[in-house]
Amino acid sequence: MSFPDRVEAILLAGGHLESLPEGERTPPGKGLLPIGPLPMAARALRALVESPRVERVVLVSPVEAESLGPEWAGADEVAPAGADLVQSLEAGLARTRDAEAPVLTVAGDLPFLSSPAVTDFLGRCARRPEASVWYGFMRQEVSEKAYPGVRHTWARLTEGTFCGTGLVALRPQVARRMQLAVKELAQARKNPLRLAAILGWKTILAFALRRLTVPMAEEAARRLLGVPCAGIESPYAETAFNVDCRETLLEARRLATRRS
């Protein structure tokens, strides 16, 4: 197994916010919400285009290619967004050129994503070429230093307290396994015995006792997906600043205005 010097990337610009600022109309997709002079996902697109480790970008958009403005010109291809995240990912993967090579998937709600952050993440993935899924995570102190008070879902492990990022790399052939695994976990979440059968009692007890380590989490993911998985720690806070509510949208706009 190997990890190439340059990869294709899928930018997911769909999804919705439950609540918007008063008087603001809901766009076809969350990635189209304006942050400063650009739509949110278009800001992430710039980071991908400028990264030397990204060869090609597939934009998964709720708006047809013919209706997109010049700010989306960096995308090499546009695929129609699906009804949910899984369908959108499948649509993006269908437009990639190499079904065997790793693909970087990027959430379209990362308004401050930078090319150094993308390049660093892919470089770290390349140091774990045996994996088939590379999942980004970030330390709490990294987020608090750059964006104090921005909320995340935190998990306390032995090595520290972490949240997930909006960057995940995967080999396309495992996408179907991931879809089934997510469905299985959702069905088992209220059944401790079934959840233990999926993840293992050791993993669940270690997490409950705050003794879970990153390697243990990687092993639980391997059992779940049936392929080697690697946790990739990012030192860039912008990889986890995602707009998932009205408050983070307003904060992103405030920060963008201050920086400009």
- Return the pLDDT at 224: 81
Asked whether the CA dihedral 117, 171, 201, 151 is positive or negative, the reply is positive
- Return the pLDDT at 44: 95
- Return the pLDDT at 59: 95
Phi, psi (deg, nearest 5) at residue 21: -55, 150
Alpha-carbon distance of 184 to 194, in angstroms, equals: 10
- Return the pLDDT at 208: 60
CA 236, chain centre distance (Å): 14
Q: Quick one: fold of 7-172+227-259?
A: Spore Coat Polysaccharide Biosynthesis Protein SpsA; Chain A (3.90.550)
Whole-angstrom Cα Rg for the chain: 18
Phi, psi (deg, nearest 5) at residue 57: -125, 130
What are the domain boundaries of the chain? 7-172+227-259
Tens place of pLDDT for every residue, the chain, 260 residues?
A: 789 999 999 999 987 777 767 767 777 878 888 898 889 999 999 999 999 999 999 999 888 876 778 889 899 999 998 888 888 888 999 999 888 899 999 999 999 999 999 999 999 999 999 999 999 999 999 999 999 988 888 888 899 999 999 999 999 888 877 776 666 655 545 555 554 555 555 665 565 656 788 998 898 888 888 899 999 999 999 999 999 888 888 898 999 888 76
- Return the pLDDT at 191: 53
- Return the pLDDT at 222: 87
For residue 114, give the 3-state DSSP assignment. Answer: coil
Say if strands 54-61 and 7-12 run parallel, antiparallel, or are unpaired: parallel
- Return the pLDDT at 105: 94
